[in-house]
Structure 1
Amino acid sequence: MLDDFMTRATLAGIGVACAAAPLGSFVVWRRMAYFGDATAHAAILGVALALALQVSIFTGAVAVALAMALTVSALSGRGYAMDTLLGVLAHSALAFGLVAVSFLSGIRIDLMAYLFGDILAVSRGDLAVIWAGAALVVALIGWRWSGLLTATLNEELAYASGINPKREQLVLTLALAITVAVAIKVVGALLIAAMLIIPAAAARPLSRTPEGMAMIAALIGGASAAVGLRAAYVLDTPAGPSIVCVAALIFLVTSLVRTLRSGGEAG
């Protein structure tokens, strides 16, 4: 079954959706969209360093994404506006990554694949890394779910309950770095934030509980991957952007449903 490239691509997309769904829910609740974007852009620098040091792409992407996330956490609240800080770091990391790639001599690299994804080229080894990373993210979020949720709702309530919000932020940071590393092959550094945010945002009007939102987001993400890949195959369009387009259309539909529902209740 895994000899078919479309099967491998679909399984890879579903694996990324499983990792991105619960994490994306927290990104939406905490309004961390730019945080996810900055971490994803830093992954390109991680790719360049991994190739230069001859280590796995996953290791390099995780290390640099985690370093970026920790840098943002350390600098926040020190006189910098958060959106300005994230904008500077995100674009600087992407620029340094692209420049670093240009210095790699004797190494062939398809830069577009890392920027926009190359899900159709996913190998069995890539698939194993993606699903192992997704399982680790789901386990990490599941283990700290209650603490993460309490810290997201109210930091003072978290402290009163014996929960350290800084520790929960670190858990989210680690999960985000792992998700970026496993998703870069599927949708690329420029579209990872979209797969984190759009399925979770689309699931919000359809869910009544936080757990329900995470599960519905996973279903929307998986469906977006499957339908987007099929559309890319039929229409001969780029696979990664096609997946994001399908997720965006689902978001549009759920937003219309929420609007109609609220209009009906008002009437």
Structure 2
Amino acid sequence: MLDDFFTRAIIAGIGLAITAGPLGCFIVWRRMAYFGDTMAHSALLGIALAFLLEINLTIGVFIIAVFVSLALMALQRRGGLSADALLGILSHSTLALGLVIIAFMSWVRVDLMSFLFGDILAVSKTDIASIWIGGAAVLGTLAWLWRPLLASTVSDEIAQAEGMSPERTRVIFMLLMALVIAIAMKLVGVLLITSLMIIPAATARRLAVTPEQMAVIASILGALAVAGGLFGSLKFDTPSGPSIVVAALVLFLVSMIAYGGRGQTERQAS
């Protein structure tokens, strides 16, 4: 029989994978991997803010992730620097600021390793409820936005011509990313969050024919990576968060070997 903590970890991890899969598809289609990394790195600043203001960690991470998203959009409108340069500045600055602020708070004992790489085996029943309820909210919003998101992914001009608002859609999508990153932080850590969103989606792209199929397959592959990583962690006594990402990588490499060509969904949604 599996221990309770291991069962909770699997339930929580699968809930996160189901949520992250469809969101990761849009990250892959929109070529926003570096943006996802930037938001994930900013989570450490959110953790520092939460400790400083004595608020819930998830709320602190969500606030900072939203702030970084809006700051990026404002800086892009002003021009002067390319998007990747702005992302580099925001990514490393927020990560460094978070570390410095935490270092100044000598009265707080912080396990940085658990925040950087996650501790999914320590999730509680409350965490599981937060993951599944938050995940349901994210997936519901994503289903509502599915058509506008696909249209604006292909072309902002097409979306506008069809009476949609690409700017509003982009803002809501960033808010969804911020929420998933805030939820996922405790499970796989600041440095591995984006990997769990991107790798299953990239794998699914080789297996799916339509965007909808890709979203479903990405969720399934993410759940398999969670289960495989956790059982591998249990067997080989390795860190759980990195083990999940390694399991996702193995699935990706297998898909590359089995399906050498690029998936049809890339041609349809990119």
Please say if 1:51 is aligned against 2:51: yes
How far off its partner does 1:17 sit? 0.7
TM-score, normalised via structure 1 length = 0.95
Cα distance in 2 between the residues matched to 1:261 and 1:11: 32
Any gaps of 5 or more consecutive residues in structure 2?
264-270
How far off its partner does 1:135 sit? 1.2
Task: State the identity as a percent.
Answer: 50
Which string of whole-angstrom CA distances, capped at 9 and with x for unpartnered residues, describes residues 117-167 of structure 1?
010111111111111221111111111111111111111110010011111
The residue aligned with 2:218 is 217
Cα distance in 2 between the residues matched to 1:88 and 1:53: 25
Cα distance in 2 between the residues matched to 1:133 and 1:92: 28
Number of paired residues? Answer: 262
Matches within 5 A, 1:1-267: 4-77=4-77, 78-259=79-260
How far off its partner does 1:261 sit? 9.2
How far off its partner does 1:260 sit? 6.8
Which string of whole-angstrom CA distances, capped at 9 and with x for unpartnered residues, describes residues 28-49 of structure 1?
0000000000001101111111
1:32 counterpart letter in structure 2: M
Cα distance in 2 between the residues matched to 1:35 and 1:217: 20
Which string of whole-angstrom CA distances, capped at 9 and with x for unpartnered residues, describes residues 201-255 of structure 1?
0000100111110100000001100110000011000100000000011011112
Cα distance in 2 between the residues matched to 1:19 and 1:98: 29
Cα distance in 2 between the residues matched to 1:109 and 1:116: 13
CA contact (8 A) 2:160 2:166 kept: yes
1:93 counterpart letter in structure 2: T
CA contact (8 A) 2:229 2:245 kept: yes
Which string of whole-angstrom CA distances, capped at 9 and with x for unpartnered residues, describes residues 22-70 of structure 1?
1100000000000000001101111111111111111101000111111
2:157 counterpart letter in structure 1: E
Any gaps of 5 or more consecutive residues in structure 1?
263-267
TM-score, normalised via structure 2 length = 0.94
1:72 counterpart letter in structure 2: L
Q: Secondary structure at the match of 1:105?
A: coil
Cα distance in 2 between the residues matched to 1:174 and 1:218: 20
Cα distance in 2 between the residues matched to 1:128 and 1:240: 20
Cα distance in 2 between the residues matched to 1:128 and 1:220: 22
1:238 counterpart letter in structure 2: P
Q: Which runs of 4+ in 1 moved over 3 A?
A: none
CA contact (8 A) 2:225 2:247 kept: yes
Cα distance in 2 between the residues matched to 1:68 and 1:2: 40
CA contact (8 A) 2:118 2:189 kept: yes
Cα distance in 2 between the residues matched to 1:34 and 1:161: 29
The residue aligned with 2:266 is none
CA contact (8 A) 1:2 1:124 kept: no
How far off its partner does 1:2 sit? 11
RMSD, aligned α-carbons: 1.6
- The 1:210/1:261 distance shift into structure 2, 3 A limit, reads closer
How far off its partner does 1:108 sit? 2.0
